[in-house]
């Protein structure tokens, strides 16, 4: 097929897709090369694009602040004192939870620490935390610091699970088997639902069951899963989870994060918690009592009053996800990723690169990670951006991550990315 025919075929797929693209509702960066006005943006697994609705959501709160001052806490169109409650229901729907189990607060790593304060309870015989060897560095730092805080040796107590020799991704069944054999040592299992590096989607319910059967608490970092794949945290029996909202949830750099605690833990007064003003029952909050009045919801893990200007973009984003639905987005994600995989397969057959992400759609999210043998990822990513207007993420030394996000990516974007990568790789090989 000629280049022109292949491009036309990609545009036909966009025209015929049952879920038309929502890219008109986002701000696309301008392309710096390739002859297109807009970039083909594949870095939504790092930072999602800005929805057009975000500015209006922020402007509304700024206007109320200007008009009302401190009275905005109770008199704003969306009163600030209870603002976080507006996010509870849509966030719960997004992750498959009951409203009482969810709270939007802080940033991801802060929430991981707050959850571990309650749920990492090491003993001399059961002190290990299990993570994946390719866990995001922040998770590694967090668990090591928690282990050290409790007086144990992180080099011994933090167990990093690796793929089988010769493989690039963990197998969920191998994790479950390891837990069945060694779980008596494990206090906490903390894995990424979708691995940031490979894009692999783990079997969250199966691993949760395996960890709990071994006597461990099971938590999940859903930074790359929330807004990417359908989740059923309550039904799966997950003990707790935390996620950010600036990747697939498009809520802006450093946006407010989310946390989930299963309802079976909500009334457990024996759980240790750090506390602050927003941890107490809102009905008595302004009586200024010196001790916390507990509430049996995830709100009891909050510390401070809600940051309104950080929550407004999250509210705007969650409204979009509610309107479209995760099932429809996931179906389109599978179609886009499969199409991109087909195109990359043709390139990989002819060039020095390979896709690391599992081929099974049920074992991956909206991401394909490509290893570039003999090429530097930073240089390839720069060439894609400056010469072709394709924005991808580089992971040193030799991996490019491409995330076709169903909210705004198109089949034509996938075609642009694949043809650009083929040209860049060809040039790199010729010059090597």
Q: 277 labelled as ligand-binding?
A: yes
106 is in an annotated binding site: no
Provide mean pLDDT across the span 57-72. Answer: 98
Calculate helix-pair angle for 204-213, 172-182, nearest 10 degrees: 0
β-pair type (393-395, 399-402) = antiparallel
Q: Calculate mean pLDDT across residues 299-319.
A: 97
- Give 85-96 pLDDT, tens digit per residue: 999 999 999 999
Q: Average pLDDT of the chain? A: 96
- Sequence-ordered alpha helix ranges (H) in 123-279: 137-149, 154-157, 172-182, 204-213, 233-236, 263-266
Residue 108 annotated in ligand binding: yes
Q: Has 139 been labeled as part of a binding site? A: yes
Residue bearing tokens 């870095």 = 43
**What's 212's DSSP letter?**
H
pLDDT digits (tens, 9 = 90+) for 15-53: 999 999 999 999 999 999 889 999 999 999 999 999 999
Q: Compute the average pLDDT of residues 132-147.
A: 98
Residues in the chain: 432
246-275 pLDDT, tens digit per residue, is 999 999 999 999 999 999 999 999 999 999
Cα separation, 326 vs 226, in Å, equals: 10
Does residue 305 have a known ligand-binding role? yes
Q: Nearest Cα to 424, choosing from 389, 387, 397, 399?
A: 387
Q: Which residues share a beta bridge with 218?
A: 189
What's the mean pLDDT in 355-363?
97
Average pLDDT over residues 184-205: 98
Q: What share of the chain in percent tops pLDDT 90? A: 94
Whether domain 83-324 has CATH 1.25.40.80: no
Give tens-digit pLDDT for 89-128.
999 999 999 999 999 999 999 999 999 999 999 999 999 9
Write down the pLDDT at residue 119: 98
Average pLDDT over residues 298-323: 97
State the span(s) of the chain assigned CATH 3.40.640.10. 83-324
Q: Where exactly does CATH 3.90.1150.10 map onto the chain? A: 3-52+325-431
pLDDT tens-digit series, residues 380-399: 999 999 999 999 999 999 99
- Is the pLDDT reported for residue 72 higher than 60? yes
Output the pTM of the full model.
0.96
Q: Is 89 annotated as contributing to ligand binding?
A: no
Mean pLDDT of 421-428: 84
Q: Which fold has domain 3-52+325-431?
A: 3.90.1150
Is the confidence at residue 430, as pLDDT, over 60? no
pLDDT higher than threshold 50 for residue 321: yes
- Flag whether 201 is marked binding: no
Joined tokens for residue 134: 């390719």
The answer to the question of whether 197 is labelled as a binding residue is no
| Residue 138 assigned ligand-binding role | yes
pLDDT of residue 428: 57
């Amino acid at each position: 097929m000629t280049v022109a025919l292949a491009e036309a075929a990609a545009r036909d797929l966009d025209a015929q897709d049952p879920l038309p693209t929502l890219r008109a509702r986002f701000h696309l960066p301008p392309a710096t090369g390739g002859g297109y006005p807009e970039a083909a943006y594949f870095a939504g697994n790092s930072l999602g694009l800005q929805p057009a609705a975000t500015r209006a959501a922020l402007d509304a709160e700024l206007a109320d602040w200007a008009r009302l001052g401190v009275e905005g806490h109770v008199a704003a169109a969306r009163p600030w004192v209870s603002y976080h409650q507006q996010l509870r229901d849509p966030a719960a729907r997004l992750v498959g939870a009951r409203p009482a189990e969810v709270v939007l607060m802080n940033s991801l790593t802060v929430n991981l620490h707050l959850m571990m304060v309650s749920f990492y309870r090491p003993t001399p015989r059961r002190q290990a935390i299990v993570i994946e060897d390719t866990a995001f560095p922040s998770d590694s730092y967090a668990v090591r610091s928690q282990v050290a805080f409790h007086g144990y040796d992180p080099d011994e107590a933090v167990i990093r699970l690796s793929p089988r020799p010769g493989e690039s991704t963990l197998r969920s069944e191998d994790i479950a088997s390891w837990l069945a054999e060694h779980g008596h040592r494990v206090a906490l299992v903390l894995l990424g639902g979708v691995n940031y590096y490979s894009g692999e989607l783990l079997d969250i319910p199966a691993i949760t069951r395996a960890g709990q059967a071994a006597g461990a608490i099971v938590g999940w970092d859903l930074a790359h899963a929330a807004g990417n794949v359908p989740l059923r945290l309550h039904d799966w029996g997950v003990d707790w989870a935390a996620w950010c909202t600036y990747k697939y949830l498009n809520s802006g750099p450093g946006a407010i994060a989310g946390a989930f605690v299963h309802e079976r833990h909500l009334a457990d007064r024996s759980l240790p918690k750090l506390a602050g003003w927003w941890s107490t029952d809102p009905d008595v909050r302004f009586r200024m009592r010196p001790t916390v009045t507990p509430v049996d919801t995830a709100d009891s893990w909050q510390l401070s009053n809600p940051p309104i200007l950080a929550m407004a973009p999250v509210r705007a984003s969650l409204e979009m996800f509610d309107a479209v639905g995760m099932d429809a987005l996931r179906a389109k994600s599978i179609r886009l990723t499969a199409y991109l995989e087909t195109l990359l397969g043709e390139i990989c057959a002819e060039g020095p690169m390979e896709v690391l992400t599992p081929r099974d759609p049920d074992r991956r999210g909206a991401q394909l990670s490509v290893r570039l043998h003999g090429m530097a990822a930073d240089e390839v990513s720069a060439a894609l951006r400056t010469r072709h207007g394709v924005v991808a993420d580089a992971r040193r030394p030799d991996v490019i991550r491409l995330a076709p996000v169903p909210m705004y990516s198109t089949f034509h974007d996938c075609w642009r990315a694949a043809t650009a990568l083929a040209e860049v790789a060809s040039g790199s090989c010729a010059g090597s």
